[in-house]
Amino acid sequence: MFLKGKRILIGITGGIASYKVYELIRLLIKEGAEVKTVLTPSALNFVSPTVLSTLSGKESYWDWNYRRPLIHIDLAKWCDAFLIAPATVNTISKLACGIADNLLTATWFACHKPKLIAPAANSVMLSDSIICENLKRLKKAGVEIIPSDEGLLACGDVGEGKLANVNLIRDYLVKALTPQRWKGKTVLITLGSTKEYLDPVRFISNSSSGKMGLALAKAIFYQGGEPILVAGDIKVDIPHWFRKFTVDTSEELLKLCLELFPSVDAVFMNAAVTDYRFKETFRGKLKKKEQTLKVELDPTPDILKELGKRKDNQLLVGFAVETENLIENALQKLKRKNLDAIVVNPAEVMGKDRYEGILLTKDGRKEEIKTSTKEEGAFLITKKVAQIFMEDPQWERKYR
């Protein structure tokens, strides 16, 4: 969905991490993007133009020739985004100083499309004050800098400087090609399920996977926002580059949400909070006996309601699952908890790959959302919420 039909130009420089571009090209092609590659002369020592052309289905370029004297202009006009991965400190410094002495750098300065670099170098080189200053100059010029990863480097050192994970590079490309509706906004997203313990090993919970919450976080990131994730029990892997916290019980979730709430601009409360907890709990494991065990349950804290009481200018979005009277029940919840919007889902789509829901707002708007994947559903939800509350003049003053 996000990269289908997009034209991505990848610049490759002479670093050992260049081999990872093969995997990146396969990933982008799989998502429907078109990919072309342009190399520095030294990159030819690390990757093969034949392999690059085979993977991308497009010719690879590394020098001018008599047939294509304006190839740098042609490539710059062709692409929707220009990514350099890996970017060595040599190429970073050339770009920062306006040096166009090879086909890659000349193409860079001919390109007025979104531009990104993914640095990869020894950690000492990358932290040098001159290189840091050059990166700042590029960032100030509007270049997106994809943060390097930490780990074992080619030289044997351990530290920052590895080429970013290809999935993170892919996410930054999506971000570069997406309207920045959430730019400058910090968004708290809860996901997964909470547990309520009877004893140290037994608990009640639910089957929420956290997949939708992660999709919401990615959608916010694509649109320029900074997601903060608070995860209960989940069945998805949260990428390490997201800022995240973990909780176990509803009480822990409430405490952390109240702590983070004053510093965020919006909340998407997607976690499936267990509605009841045991009135009496046991410090040791209960032994199985022949007689029936009777337990009493008390309601867990209403986290959304507590946030609704405390909200100032924050945008508060809730989620609900209903088996009947979807809209009526959701609107009651919206009003009772002082929400700005609520997304209600029919119970029959839970656990499915497709997404179906209805977005309702406090001023009576109704948006039906049906998509083939949760990722598309999350993107449309965050897009519509931004359009309603941050682009509509009725709400602009409050939420900007």
- Residues belonging to the active site: 155
* Encoded amino acid at 371, one letter: T
* Encoded amino acid at 279, one letter: K
Report the candidate in 240, 247, 91, 89 with the shortest Cα–Cα distance to residue 167: 240
Report the candidate in 260, 266, 285 with the shortest Cα–Cα distance to residue 382: 266
Omega before residue 86 within 30° of 0, cis: yes
3-state SS assignment for residue 290: coil
* Encoded amino acid at 55, one letter: L
Per-residue burial over 162-190, b if 16 or more Cβ lie within 10 Å, else e, is bbbbbebbbbbbbbbbbeebbeebbbbbb
- DSSP characters over 28-48: HHHTT-EEEEEE-GGGGGTS-
How far is Cα 55 from Cα 20, in angstroms, rounded to an integer? 13
The answer to whether residues 28 and 21 touch, using CB atoms and an 8 Å cutoff, is: no
DSSP 244: E
* Encoded amino acid at 45, one letter: N
Per-residue burial over 99-113, b if 16 or more Cβ lie within 10 Å, else e, is eeebbbbbbbebbee
The answer to whether residues 270 and 213 touch, using CB atoms and an 8 Å cutoff, is: yes
